[in-house]
Amino acid sequence: MWKLFTSALLMTLSSLVFAAKVEVAISGMSCGSCAMKITEALNKTGKCEGVKVDTETKKASFETKGEISDGEISKAIEEAGYKATKITRS
């Protein structure tokens, strides 16, 4: 029982420590279908939550669940057919 509690506590603490707000400027998207593809690609990583993609500003924003590198973010977006041009964390 103690191991289960300790494990759950560590998972909660690590998600708090590594949680960050991320904004990504994206080139190549122009419509709602593009936004859906990018949203699906970021959600598929399992490390992004609350993904919102705005086709007018050409930006995606989300919060991280644990650690995700800029490279992982860029790769997910590129695999969906778009390019991450700037990644900002706060």
In the predicted model, is pLDDT for residue 37 greater than 50? yes
Mean pLDDT along residues 45-73? 95
In the predicted model, is pLDDT for residue 61 greater than 90? yes
For Cα atoms 80, 85, 87, give the angle at the middle one, nearest 5 degrees.
95
What would you measure as the largest C-alpha separation in the chain, in angstroms?
51
CA distance 14 to 10: 6
* 6 or 61, greater pLDDT: 61
85 in the Ramachandran plot: left (φ > 0), alpha (ψ -120 to 50) or beta?
alpha
Mean pLDDT along residues 3-32? 71
For Cα atoms 32, 75, 33, give the angle at the middle one, nearest 5 degrees.
10
What is the pLDDT confidence band of residue 19, given thresholds at 50, 70 and 90? confident
The model carries a pTM of: 0.79
Mean pLDDT along residues 56-79? 95
Residue 89: name the closest of 43, 24, 44 by CA. Answer: 24
